[in-house]
Amino acid sequence: MRLARCGPAGLHFESPSFSWAVAWGWAAAPSAGSVPSPEEPGLRPSLPKHARLHPLASPSARPAEAPPAPDALADVLVIGSGPAALAIAAALVERGLRVEALALEDPAAPWPNTYGIWGPEADGAGLGHLLEHRWSDTVSWFAPEPTRHGLDYGLFDKTALQRHWLDHLAAAGVVWHRGRAAAIVHSTSSSQVSTAGGDRLKARLVVDASGHEPVFVRRPEGEPIAGQAAYGIVGRFSAPPVDPDQFVLMDFRAHHLSEAERLGEPPTFLYAMDLGEGRFFVEETSLALAPPVPFPLLQERLQRRLAHAGIAVEAIEHEEFCLFPMNLALPDLTQRVVGFGGAASMVHPASGYLVGSLLRRAPYLADAIAAALADPALDGAAVARRAWEGLWPLELRRRHALFRFGLEKLMRYPEEQLRAFFTTFFALPRREWTGFLTNTLPLPQLVGAMVRLFATAPWSVRWGLMEQRGREPGLLARVLAP
């Protein structure tokens, strides 16, 4: 998924940004104390071409709501009601923990966003049946001929996904509280959250899954935040903007721009898909930039791209304005409140993906929390430390630092270098480029893929990878000491 702020009527799709890095003179190896990474999802048979699966009904089992009992003590209080909150809450109740949740809005209210994922990731999590759309014809354009990815991409039926988790939580007796979290006080063995309405909720551990602007989770401040910006529309067109039954990951063709624009302005690409029944989604997207590319420029470029192809917009169903942070620093891993999802900086700094990571890493965090709470020798601070270690082991912290370093490099690549980079990147073995995008390659294999890319890339790309500018040396140093 792409974690974003969207317009009120906007659908939300996951489009990619990428980064790559080469850590010269550094040999990566698994370190003591690291935990195995989630397995790379296996590649499974796809549905024929463009498959639209029938959506399920709206959530049937509404969350139980109850006034808080002043002396009740839950094992875990989860803050939030989006995919991150529901995913971790479901994983926790599967381990027999008593979970309560606090949401600002009705947790059964329809989600405003739509969540995309690579097909094998959904299959690996056992949720492939919840995809509303699934494409087998997935391509990108970096040259006159398309790059064919040979890997399914899908969009979740967001109502079915929400129902899947809410039904599970309702069956486990999870109680939902409504209100805005306003303050938190920690004791030796528990934490108490006060809401703006005066309610007090106690738990042995608090998990903040309220998004990339979290309620309680603290991050380092002062670093420039790169944003991926996009403007898109869902609608009907005078001619298909993409081939039938096709998903376009990135189209960097820029015939609609002047040479001066291509050389002097930030590059953007088209992200598009056939939604079936004559409807398409098209979106002009910037990889990442600090400050981000302005929406008016993205809107103008999309209009010019379509006009250059002789395509007119006949009807707009939804208009989307999206902006989300790509390169957030890791949170303070010593704090008492544990984050998950965007609150824990889990957005992939290189690809922008999040939902697959939620599905893979929720069980790891839940295991760490359950084990820590079962140990009577651990106080609240120690439980939180064990939880953070389960979510962000050293291996994943090093990968996160490496991806942030790579993003910094790609943000200064002009269009021609970006096209050359991506042409080389997608020529890597599929296991390597998919493992990079989904953050499932172990660190030694990730570095090996990077070396392979460097060896086969044009010199313009190689020089950009070697040259060190601005914050890059400091970011690279964090790979060794994240």
Query: Hey, what amino acid is at 179?
Result: G
For the chain, what percentages of helix, strand and coil (3-state, to nearest 5) are there?
A: 35, 25, 45
Q: What is the DSSP letter of 226?
A: P
Match domain 51-130+151-222+332-391 to its CATH number in 3.40.50.300, 3.30.460.10, 3.50.50.60, 1.10.287.610: 3.50.50.60
Q: What mean pLDDT do residues 221-227 have?
A: 84
CA distances from 435 to 43, 288, 406, 429 (A): 12, 21, 16, 10
- Mean pLDDT for the chain overall: 86
Amino acid in position 436: F
Give the residues across from 237 on adjacent strands: 313
Give the DSSP per-residue string, 67-134.
PPPTT-EEEEEEE--SHHHHHHHHHHHHTT--EEEEESS-TTSPPSS--EEEHHHHHHTT-GGGEEEE
Domain ranges for the chain: 51-130+151-222+332-391, 397-480
User: In what order do the strands lie in the sheet containing 116-118?
Assistant: 51-52, 131-135, 153-156, 116-118
Q: Which amino acid is at 124?
A: G
161 in Cβ contact with 130 (< 8 Å): yes
What tokens appear for 179 in the block? 């209100």
Q: Report how far residue 306's alpha carbon sits from residue 241's, in angstroms, rounded to the nearest whole number.
A: 7
Chain centroid to Cα 114, Å, comes to 12
Q: Can you give the pLDDT at residue 472?
A: 65
On whether the pTM is more than 0.95, the answer is no
Q: How far is CA 63 from CA 99, 114, 142, 172, in A?
A: 12, 21, 47, 10
Q: Which of 86, 288, 286, 48 is nearest to 168 (CA)?
A: 86
- The predicted structure's pLDDT at residue 7: 35
C-alpha to C-alpha distances, 115 to 110, 273, 321, 358, nearest whole angstrom: 13, 14, 15, 12
d(C-alpha 227, C-alpha 220), whole Å: 17
Query: pLDDT for 148-203, tens place per residue?
Result: 999 999 999 999 999 999 999 999 999 999 999 999 999 999 999 999 999 999 99
pLDDT of residue 350: 85
**For 270-285, how does the pLDDT look when each residue is reduced to its tens digit (9 = 90+)?**
999 999 999 999 999 9
67-105: per-residue pLDDT in tens?
Answer: 545 556 999 999 999 999 999 999 999 999 999 999 999
Q: What is the DSSP letter of 51?
A: E
Give me 353's structure tokens: 């993906």
- For 325-367, give the DSSP string: ES-PPPP-TTSSSEE-GGGGT-S-TTT---HHHHHHHHHHHHH
pLDDT computed for residue 32 by the predictor: 33
- Sign of the torsion formed by the C-alpha atoms of 181, 182, 185 and 186: positive
Residue 254 has, within 13 A of its CA and on its CB side, a CA count of 23
pLDDT at 335 over 60: yes
Residue 211: left (phi > 0), alpha (psi -120 to 50), or beta?
Answer: left
**Is the preceding omega at residue 291 within 30 degrees of 0, hence cis?**
yes
**pLDDT at 43 (0 to 100):** 32
CA 232 to chain centre: 18
Across the range 417-435, mean pLDDT stands at 95
Residue 476, CB half-sphere, CA atoms under 13 Å: how many? 18
pLDDT at 405 over 90: no
Residue 144 gets which letter from DSSP? S
Q: How do residues 2-47 score in pLDDT, each as one tens digit? A: 433 343 333 334 444 443 333 332 323 333 333 343 433 333 333 3
Give the C-alpha separation, 228 to 237, whole Å: 26
Tokens of 42: 């296996």
Q: Is residue 64 over pLDDT 70?
A: no
